[in-house]
Each structure stands twice: as structure tokens, then as C-alpha cells.
Amino acid sequence: MASDNNKVGFVSLGCPKALVDSERILTQLRSDGYDIVADYGDADIVVVNTCGFIDSAKQESLDAIGEALDENGKVIVTGCLGAQSEIITNAHPKVLGVTGPAAYEQVVNQIHHFLPQTANHDPFINLVPPQGIKLTPRHYAYLKISEGCNHRCSFCIIPSMRGDLVSRPVGDVLDEAQRLADAGVKELLVISQDTSAYGVDIKYKTGFWQGQPVKASMQGLCEALAELGIWVRLHYVYPYPHVDKVIPLMADGKILPYLDIPFQHASMSILKAMKRPAATEKNLDRILQWRQTCPDLTIRSTFIVGFPGETDDDFEELLQFLQEAQLDRVGCFQYSPVDGAAANKLANQIPENVKQERWERFMAAQQEISASRLQQKIGQKIDVLIDEIDEKGLIGRSFADAPEIDGTVFVEHDSQTSAGDIVQVKITDADEYDLYGELIS
Ligand code: SF4
């Protein structure tokens, strides 16, 4: 079925660094709801990522721009030759915009300007945190390991739109991770619809990376990513027993001791009605066991209150779970029907005022838990990855904070530090969401 999304054609020329630039622009465009198409004729706009290294490469770039203009007409130019923009505008005055290398933000902004996102763009479906769309700074990157999903959660329509799980070959994923690390990325955020299911569709087929066999499984992937020596953070994990195997990697400091697990509920009857993956697992036992292996483990999760059929007892069970699980970061949504989802037909839909009341009680309970867990960090010395610097000081994140969705660590100003640096910080204060600290020299 043809998609209604706006379509971008992409011509990528040049060296591996330019390729990483292209991949990052393409990743962002996909996240922003654009389709990437292979033909000029199918595209609404074309991006040409140029090379300016030697004359023949310049000429090849100019030829590619000319071809894109002839075939399509709407062309944005970026990349190394873009640093000498007059060469491009003299040869091709009709191009819509020119930027230099690694200008991810500007290219995406230009595309937004000339080809706005479609109205039905859904950031959740496009694997973007629900807080909204922002281009990642250069020191962290999303690493998408699979598309689609084998589950059929009753509130979700992703599988009907994206199909069943298709895992990327493990060698491809690791090559991409390596390129990102080589280009200066300090933190990889592993994303998918179900990271714990990685490889199941390809029967955990062994691939090769740097001449070594690597099993296409969550554990195999994590062990290989650990070798990059950068932060590796896992998102969208379900609490299956085999997740236990990656916890020792976290305890050993190989990957970040952080798990993003969308539990969604704690009552077994609601989890079953939701048709959640790992619905019958004893999640609380599992969390306690993980924390025994890795006491620093940070767990973030999301929950839905007011799902059809949720009784007072189900909700109390959820609150009880929160108290016992002591999760670090939690988001909560009130259930609302999604067009085409199976849950819409379930009996006992919950009145809006009850949903609201439960949501408020849930948030109040969790806020206390999150705040007290942050208080426990006062006095600790932690590594902080600096995201940005403003006139007040350094703004960064610890291993416990994913970008966009978790908290922030505010650090006193320091003229030696740049965005993308990892610095050691002593935590001196905490509030409900954020930490405050000073640099350890
Ligand atoms: S695991 Fe469930 S909620 Fe997540 S994408 Fe698959 S069907 Fe949807």
C-alpha cells in the first residue's frame, strides 16, 4: 500500500564520514515521518550529499546535482563541496539550499521548510520519544536494530502498519555502530519495537564483524557493542528471562546499567488483556534479581492507567508494584483508543474522570519514589556526558538519563569543557527530576 508520507530522494557521495552524515540525516528524516525513495520521479525533493575532496569528486558532485535538478527540480545540497557554496550556486543557481559537511540540523530544517511533515506523522510509530522530535546532537545517535514487531498488543497498531519483526543482520548493525563511534559519537541508543526479540526472525543467525563471528541475539549484539568503548543504552526491552544475560555486562561497566522496559501495567489480568509480551513473567522477582547482580541498574518504564476492564483492585496492584519495584524513571499515560486497535472493542471502558483520578494518584506515588532515588545520589561521583553549555554552566546526563526522556545533570561552568565531553562530577543536590553537581578536577 502506498504511503501518504512525503518522500525524499537521497544521493550520497564521498567517504565513510560523509556516509555517516547521510545515514544520520536519513535516520532523522525517517524518524520525522518521511519516506526515503530510490527514484527521482517518486521523490518530492532530493538531497545530494556531495564530496569535494578531489576535482573528479567535485565534478561528480556537480553532475549529480545537475541530474537531480533535471529529473526532479527540487534539490537541496549538503556535504563537503557545500563548504564552497559558490561553486555550486554558480553551476546550479536553482538549488534550494546549500550547506557544508555534517550540517544535519540545517539539512533537516531545510527539508521541513520546503517539504513539511505530513499531518498524520506519529512520532511513536516512527520510533521517536513521545516528548517530541529533535535532532540528536552529534555525540549521541540512535541505532535501529530491527523494524516491525511480532507481538499484537491490543492497544497498538504498529504491527499492522509495519509488519512483523525484521532484524537487521548483526554485521550491518555493528558496522553502523562502528562508523558512528569513528565519527565521534559517544553514546549509542539501541532502538527497535522489541530489542529483546532481536534476531528471533533470522533464527539468531551468526554474522561477522571485524572478522569475528557474532550471534544475532540481544546478548551477542550487546557483547559486540561493548567493544566499541562508548556508552551503549538499551531501549524497548521486555522482561524475558534471556534479558538476565545482559545484566552482567552492565555490572562490569561494558554497557550502561540502564534498561528502558515499557511494563505498561502490573496486574496479570490487565497485562493479558493488553496481550503484552512477557505478560506472565514475574517482573518484580526479575527486577530484584537484576539489582542483586547490578546494584546501579537504572530502570525506566511507561505505564497505561484506565485500560478497559481495569478494576480498583488492578489499579491498587499497580500502585503496590510501583512501591516495590522502586523504578527510577516512569512515564504514565491515560488509556485512549487508537483507530484500528483491538482494545477498542473490549468491554468495560473506563470513564474519563476515573482515568484522570488514577493517573494523578499514580504520578504522585511515582514522583515521591523518583525523587527519593535521586536524593540517594547526593555525594556520589558520576560520569556526565555534556549535551550543551549555556551561560549558567554545563548541561549533561549521567548513565541513568537517556536524552529527551529522562533527567539532566546541571554542572557549574567550566571553560575547558565542550559539548560531547564526558566529565566526572560530584553530585551536590537533587530535585524531583534533575541532579546538580560540581566538576571533579
Ligand atoms: S510490543 Fe506491543 S506495543 Fe510494542 S510495537 Fe509490538 S505490538 Fe506494539
Angle, alpha carbons 123-125-126 (nearest 5°): 60
| CB-ligand 1 contact for 196 (6 Å cutoff) | no
Average pLDDT, rounded, for the chain: 88
Residue nearest to atom 5 of ligand 1 (CA): 193
CA proximity to 311, closest of 262, 366, 354, 365: 354
Q: How many angstroms separate the alpha carbon of residue 156 from the centre of ligand 1?
A: 6
| CB-ligand 1 contact for 159 (6 Å cutoff) | yes
Q: Which atom of ligand 1 is nearest to the CA of 193?
A: 5
pLDDT value of residue 29 = 87
At residue 83, what are phi and psi to the nearest 5 degrees?
A: -65, -20
Average confidence (pLDDT) over 57-82 = 92
Q: Does 80 carry a binding-site annotation? A: yes
Q: How many angstroms separate the alpha carbon of residue 107 from the centre of ligand 1?
A: 32
Q: Which of 1-15, 237-251, 269-283 is predicted least confidently?
A: 1-15
- Is residue 120 very low, low, confident or very high in pLDDT (cuts 50, 70, 90)? low
Q: Which atom of ligand 1 is nearest to the CA of 264?
A: 3
Task: Evaluate if residue 123 carries a pLDDT over 60.
Answer: no
pLDDT digits (tens, 9 = 90+) for 366-381: 999 999 999 999 999 9
Higher pLDDT, 211 or 281: 211
Higher pLDDT, 193 or 72: 72
Asked if 33 and 161 count as a contact pair (C-beta separation under 8 A), the reply is no
CA proximity to 20, closest of 91, 97, 104: 104
Chain centre to alpha carbon of residue 121:
17
**Which amino acid appears at position 194 of this protein?**
D
Residue nearest to atom 4 of ligand 1 (CA): 193
Higher pLDDT, 148 or 235: 235
Angle, alpha carbons 269-367-188 (nearest 5°): 85
- Sign, Cα dihedral of 389, 390, 393, 398: negative
The Cα–Cα gap between 228 and 184 comes to 11
Residue nearest to atom 1 of ligand 1 (CA): 151
Q: Does 15 carry a binding-site annotation? A: yes
For a substitution probing ligand 1, which of 128, 145, 149, 265 has the most ligand atoms within 8 Å of its CB? 149
Q: Does 153 carry a binding-site annotation? A: yes
pLDDT value of residue 280 = 66
| Distance from the first to the final alpha carbon of the chain | 58
Q: Which atom of ligand 1 is nearest to the CA of 236?
A: 4
Q: Which atom of ligand 1 is nearest to the CA of 275?
A: 2
Q: How many angstroms separate the alpha carbon of residue 162 from the centre of ligand 1?
A: 11
C-alpha cell at 102: 555534517
Average confidence (pLDDT) over 328-335 = 93
* Residue 204 CB partners (closer than 8 Å, separation 6+): 215, 216, 217, 220
Q: Does 294 carry a binding-site annotation? A: no
pLDDT digits (tens, 9 = 90+) for 132-158: 233 356 788 888 888 788 999 998 877
Q: Which atom of ligand 1 is nearest to the CA of 238?
A: 1
pLDDT value of residue 62 = 95
Q: How many angstroms separate the alpha carbon of residue 15 from the centre of ligand 1?
A: 37
The Cα–Cα gap between 77 and 280 comes to 52
The Cα–Cα gap between 355 and 86 comes to 59
The Cα–Cα gap between 424 and 441 comes to 8
For a substitution probing ligand 1, which of 144, 145, 151 has the most ligand atoms within 8 Å of its CB? 151
Q: Does 51 carry a binding-site annotation? A: yes
Q: How many angstroms separate the alpha carbon of residue 159 from the centre of ligand 1?
A: 7
pLDDT digits (tens, 9 = 90+) for 180-222: 888 788 999 998 889 999 999 999 999 999 989 999 999 999 9
pLDDT value of residue 158 = 72
- Is residue 58 very low, low, confident or very high in pLDDT (cuts 50, 70, 90)? confident
Q: How many angstroms separate the alpha carbon of residue 56 from the centre of ligand 1?
A: 48
**Which amino acid appears at position 382 of this protein?**
I
| CB-ligand 1 contact for 262 (6 Å cutoff) | no
Residue nearest to atom 2 of ligand 1 (CA): 153
pLDDT value of residue 104 = 79
C-alpha cell at 85: 557554496
pLDDT value of residue 53 = 60
Chain centre to alpha carbon of residue 93:
38
* Residue 113 CB partners (closer than 8 Å, separation 6+): none
Radius of gyration of the chain (CA): 23
Q: Which atom of ligand 1 is nearest to the CA of 155?
A: 3
Structural domains of the chain ordered from first start: 7-114 (3.40.50.12160), 140-376 (3.80.30.20), 380-439 (2.40.50.140)
pLDDT value of residue 161 = 61
Q: Which atom of ligand 1 is nearest to the CA of 159?
A: 7
The Cα–Cα gap between 425 and 409 comes to 9
Q: Does 332 carry a binding-site annotation? A: no
Residue nearest to atom 8 of ligand 1 (CA): 156
